[in-house]
Structure 1
Amino acid sequence: MKKLGKLLVAAAFLLLVTGCSNSAAQSAKDETVTVKLGVVGDDTDVWDDVQKRLAKEDIKLEYVKFTDYNQPNDALAQGEIDLNAFQHQFFLDNYNKEHGTDLVSIGNTVNAPLGIYSDQLTSVADLKNGATVAIPNDVTNGGRALLLLQTAGLIEVDPDKGQTPTTSDITANKLGLKIEELDASQTARALADVDAAVINSGVAVDAGFTPTKDAIYLEPVDDKARPYVNIIVSRKEDANNKTYQKIVDAYQTKETEKVIAETSKGSSIPAWEDFGRK
């Protein structure tokens, strides 16, 4: 009987220890924080690498993928996601102004130069009189596209319009180019129907282009590019959220720089050192 009693006590102790271990494991699992990150398109290679470092901090990223630039800020403002990473500061400023929102940047990611692409031409010098050029139709990317066409020597725009000229602000158009305005996500698809298109880097990459190789003209990377540095965005009340700051820290690393260089083939440039953290 004494031996049986000892066996029962040992068994009970083993169950207790096992139960405690399972509870501890479950508790650790429950402590993992899931952050919903809004992105545009399917390319998450860089963020996948960031996720490896975040795992050590018990932070898990859940991607929420959107098909165009009009959706992620709406989702963030409405609390459907926690952060987004798809836009530059100028785009965000315009969104806040138009929608009365207070979304803020919590960290820089990359500078992704805008490019002019064509299925038919190998140089902007090959554009003929009356050629059709597609550009994004939103205020910030449309203005940026017109400024790029000006830098390429194709048009001139009213300098008083700053960063947001529209087609009505074109003051010189020596080739009589026809400017067709489309949603930014559609500019790459339009290449079959136009002579050239100004395409955002992320859209171009999703369409299979390597901007540094395939663009017939690429936006210069200089101090004028500062407003177009891509950013990680949160709601204002979450700007100092420690979990979100850890995500910024995990992104802004040498490891991320290497992945950006590999996956973009040099088309995207890390922007947290040259242009500051925020």
Structure 2
Amino acid sequence: MKKVLSLICLVMASVFLLACAKKESSQSKDTTKAKEDRVITVATYTKPSSTFLELVEDNVKEKGYTLKIETVSDYIQANIALENKEHDANLLQHEFFMDIFNKENKGHLVSITPIYHSLAGFYGKGLKSIDDLKDGSRVAIPSDPSNMTRALLLLQEKNLIKLKKT
């Protein structure tokens, strides 16, 4: 199953990157500019997203492009950089997050393909299971609307909180 998931992710990342590739103009007189056009700059958060990009680096090179991977720590700043054409693409968010970014920032970002995003989950120092969480324990959740909603729904799914219907 892991091999199948890895293969699917590899194919998705390849399609994603090649869709971002810019066609080099045959009329380009500036060779420096032409070389820059052969570089695809992708912002990503951390592993495993950066690992997926590293896995397709050779495929991208075979197509005549260079993949430049930039690790970022802030999704909003990465989206602003993408909006300002400082990156060609990013691999770090789900579509709902991107849609909210677009609304709040008058952005024009579009999704090329859904991504695998493994960072959502329960993590705790010294806890082996969500069942080890004690009553009155504090939990941290994301502050952005899309991920906050997802975190709250996960907590409710595990019967740790009860959300009111509005």
Please report the TM-score for the alignment, with normalisation by the length of structure 1: 0.44
SS of the residue corresponding to residue 61 of structure 1 reads strand
Q: For the Cα contact (< 8 Å) 2:40–2:67, is it kept in 1?
A: yes
Report sequence identity in percent: 35
1:120 to 126, 131, 138: 126
1:67 to 50, 69, 73: 73
Q: Where does residue 28 of structure 2 map in the other structure?
A: none
Q: Residues 222-268 of structure 1: CA distance to partner in whole angstroms, max 9, x if unpaired?
A: xxxxxxxxxxxxxxxxxxxxxxxxxxxxxxxxxxxxxxxxxxxxxxx
Q: Where does residue 39 of structure 1 map in the other structure?
A: 44
Larger radius of gyration: 1
Structure with the greater relative contact order (CA < 8 A, sep ≥ 6): 1 or 2? Answer: 1
Residue 111 to residue 37, structure 1, CA distance change in 2 (3 Å): closer
Q: For the Cα contact (< 8 Å) 1:39–1:85, is it kept in 2?
A: yes
CA distance in 1, matches of 2:75, 2:119: 17
CA distance in 2, matches of 1:74, 1:132: 32
Structure 1: runs of 5 or more not aligned: 1-25, 161-278
Higher strand share: 1
Q: Where does residue 83 of structure 1 map in the other structure?
A: 89
Q: Where does residue 149 of structure 2 map in the other structure?
A: 143
Q: For the Cα contact (< 8 Å) 1:31–1:58, is it kept in 2?
A: no
Name segments (4+ residues, structure 1) moved above 3 Å: 29-32
Q: Where does residue 106 of structure 1 map in the other structure?
A: 112
Q: Provide the aligned length of Structure 1 versus Structure 2.
A: 133
Q: 1:70 deviation in Å?
A: 2.1
Q: 1:76 deviation in Å?
A: 0.5
Q: Where does residue 52 of structure 1 map in the other structure?
A: 58
The Cα RMSD (Å) is 2.2
CA distance in 1, matches of 2:135, 2:35: 64
